[in-house]
Structure 1
């Protein structure tokens, strides 16, 4: 009985470790794509994501999904018919050309789903607590920062829509690491300069706060 219990615990721990390792591998692969460790894969990912976002900007989401699935089906059906004809001519018995992909297990394990749920719950709780803290003005300076950012976002929203912002974000994700690697020293110098200016402005703002507000923050 004890052996079965220990074995079940070891199986669950091993599956949990496998799930966490798969998530780490996925995160590592994403970072490798963004930092262009493998230029061909990064170029394909960047081009594909940009093409999808531009298509969504010009067409409806239903049309984009339909065209993507139709293109995929055209490729797979053509390849399947081609391989069938080749096998019939050569009288070979290679079987289905996508057999390895069809036999691969792509189901999501309960441990992976549980791990993703726990991580999502952690981030959701953090977001809820931060939103309450900022909206209810626990710290006046932080709430003023949020107000300034939201005021700037009103102008951004008047110029760009959501899909345009996603396109710009996609371009920045794939181009910023390359630019930073080439201009690291200059960018770090400008970032430090901006950070020092912002800290000076915040310190001046804190010094001008009423005494009651400063005492509330200290408490």
Structure 2
């Protein structure tokens, strides 16, 4: 009798998964450009804004942070709108609304974009459910033990850091690590190469231990 678990395609390795991965790469490219500081002004603004929001959420409530952000945005836009109106009145020009280009931009969600997003979400959700079931129900004992070890380590990390602190550290690392790597690429590559060589040597010694002397080997004659 055939194993029922082997019948049917795996949703996590089908064509939908490959499509989802390609779409994920498309969405990740702008983020990669930001953290790699290809456009310093945008990267600096994104870095400052992300750190400010995370630190604010860590010290204030989410409602307060959102309210302050919207109030700050409104203060900037209203001030700029009044300033342009005064300039147009003084110069007697008819430039129109200063945010006309942004107001005329199409920001509505189309059915195709919503459908594509829902399909990608379904792919990743199915993959998460399959992996969770496989680990919790011990389909593979080694993987489940590794997962238990990771969860045990996370309990100690959670006792020292909370989620927002980890997000702040991750945000700082994401924006600073690529910049430091670009400035010290030669030294970092040399250190990584040495570490890789030592790791390969250690794995080689582990895979091929030195042969032990056989217990039934005859003793040398006296």
TM-score by length of structure 1 reads: 0.75
- Relative to structure 1, the CA distance from residue 66 to residue 115 in structure 2 (aligned partners, 3 Å threshold; closer, same or farther) is same
CA distance in 2, matches of 1:135, 1:188: 37
Matches within 5 A, 1:47-86: 47-86=48-87
Shift of 1:175: 2.1
> Is contact 1:180-1:187 (8 Å) kept?
no
CA distance in 2, matches of 1:49, 1:129: 33
> Is contact 1:35-1:178 (8 Å) kept?
yes
1:186 counterpart (164, 188, 191):
191
- Relative to structure 1, the CA distance from residue 53 to residue 46 in structure 2 (aligned partners, 3 Å threshold; closer, same or farther) is same
**Corresponding position of 1:151:** 152
- Relative to structure 1, the CA distance from residue 149 to residue 193 in structure 2 (aligned partners, 3 Å threshold; closer, same or farther) is farther
Matches within 5 A, 1:1-219: 26-181=27-182, 182=185, 183-187=188-192, 189-190=194-195
Shift of 1:30: 1.1
- Relative to structure 1, the CA distance from residue 169 to residue 63 in structure 2 (aligned partners, 3 Å threshold; closer, same or farther) is same
Counterpart secondary structure, 1:95? coil
Unaligned runs of 5+ in 1: 1-19, 204-219
CA distance in 2, matches of 1:142, 1:29: 34
Shift of 1:193: 5.0
Unaligned runs of 5+ in 2: 1-20, 208-222
Shift of 1:84: 0.7
- Cα deviation digits, residues 101-138 of structure 1 (max 9, x gap): 10110111111111111111101101100000011111
- Cα deviation digits, residues 171-216 of structure 1 (max 9, x gap): 1211232344421342354367568868999x8xxxxxxxxxxxxx
- Cα deviation digits, residues 52-82 of structure 1 (max 9, x gap): 1001111111111111100100000001111
Counterpart secondary structure, 1:143? helix
> Is contact 1:34-1:174 (8 Å) kept?
yes
Shift of 1:22: 8.9
Aligned pairs, number = 183
CA distance in 2, matches of 1:143, 1:92: 71
- Relative to structure 1, the CA distance from residue 187 to residue 43 in structure 2 (aligned partners, 3 Å threshold; closer, same or farther) is farther
CA distance in 1, matches of 2:153, 2:107: 43
Counterpart secondary structure, 2:98? coil
> Is contact 1:52-1:64 (8 Å) kept?
yes
